[in-house]
Amino acid sequence: MPQTEHQTLDLNGIQLSLYSAGPTQGPIVWLLHGFPECWYSWRHQISALSDAGYRVFAPEMRGYGASSAPQDSAQYDLITLCGDIQAAMDLLGHTQVAMIGHDWGAPIAWHLALLEPERVNVVGALSVPFGGRPKKPAIGMIRELYQDRFHYMLYFQKPGLAEAEMAEDIPRTMRVMMHGMSGTAGGSTLVQDKPADARWLDDRIDPGVPPQWCSPEAFQVYVETFERSGFHGPVNWYRNFERNWERPEPLAGKQIEQPALFIIGDADPVGELESYTIKKMPSVVPRVEQHVIANCGHWIQCEKPEAINQLLLEFLNREFAPKVTP
């Protein structure tokens, strides 16, 4: 990976840790990570994009690493998280950007495209599609379907439980999560057939080593990220389904008009869970192009970096770079 620069921005009531790379005058690309990841999960894309002449910004999202991690779960709703990136763009003077997100970073990218149609020229999402504002908060539907069975999102609603379990053995947590949603996984960590009062990871087998796509050096960056910040911030993202439904109400019915890219792995369990949304997406993102990566799970930009880099560069070179005035 190329040499990166680091800065800490005071904005939106927090400190945001931000890494950047690439030529300072290059077209600007933001890379927003998901859960349980960190800015370094974009290492392959930072290299490819900066080598191609793009200026890349990869934050440690609110709650992660060296960024602030407020205890109050209400400080992690979608509009607040978007506000972190909007405030960063304000401070840095960004007027035209490409916004790319993975996992939880994807809904942030999608909503920034709606909130900032002048500044967000193109948008890309890995693994998580966009279907517009649902008729009601998703957590309510999950509660109805999983009254007597375990669902990790319901488990995450219980204050203190999930973050404490994951922090008991951070390397084990990361190995189980990485393997459990990889393309070679024997079973997803998302949907599990067990009682509603069970813990999340107790019955998952620890392979003892990270997946092949994650080097020991990269794995250590993940571990150190959560040793520093813990898991209460990341889990708080999941405690905002009602607020995430209420606060974006002014955006309801709006389409994402910008050129858009969506990529998902064929073995990503999110693909099955969100199959309806993926089919619906062109009705709310009319300029979306979609790709499915073979033999690939949820950690798509790390599992298949060459394929992702090629698709990102083709998309950006075609839809974004020509719009930027030298």
- Spell out the domains of the chain, with CATH numbers in brackets: 5-323 (3.40.50.1820)
Q: Which of 103, 111, 151, 232 is catalytic?
A: 103
Question: Would residue 265 be called left, alpha or beta, if left means φ above 0 and alpha means ψ between -120 and 50 degrees?
Answer: beta
pLDDT of residue 2: 79
Q: Which of 94, 151, 179, 298 is catalytic?
A: 298
Q: Give the separation between CA 124 and CA 61, rounded to whole angstroms.
A: 17
Nearest to 45 by CA among 266, 304, 324: 304
Tokens of 73: 């779960």
Tokens of 208: 């003892």
Active site residue 197: no
**273-311, pLDDT tens digit by residue?**
899 999 999 999 999 999 999 999 999 999 999 999 999
Instruction: Give the residue, 141 or 220, on which the prediction is more confident.
Output: 220
Q: Are 251 and 115 in contact (CB under 8 A)?
A: yes
pLDDT of residue 326: 39
Average pLDDT of the chain, as a whole number: 94
DSSP lists the bridge partners of residue 124 as 100, 261
Whether 325 shows a pLDDT value over 60: the answer reads no
CA 37 to chain centre: 8
pLDDT of residue 145: 86
Burial of 3 (0-12, 13-18, 19+ CB in 10 A): exposed
Active site residue 298: yes
Where does the pLDDT of residue 188 fall: very low under 50, low under 70, confident under 90, or very high at 90 and above?
A: low
**φ and ψ at residue 58, rounded to 5 degrees:** -130, 100
Tokens of 69: 């991690």
Whether 248 shows a pLDDT value over 60: the answer reads yes
Burial of 201 (0-12, 13-18, 19+ CB in 10 A): buried
- Average the pLDDT over 10-32 and give the result: 97
Whether 324 shows a pLDDT value over 50: the answer reads no
Q: Starting from the edge strand earliest in sequence, which strands make up the sheet with 260-265, in order?
A: 5-11, 14-21, 55-60, 28-32, 97-102, 120-126, 260-265, 288-293
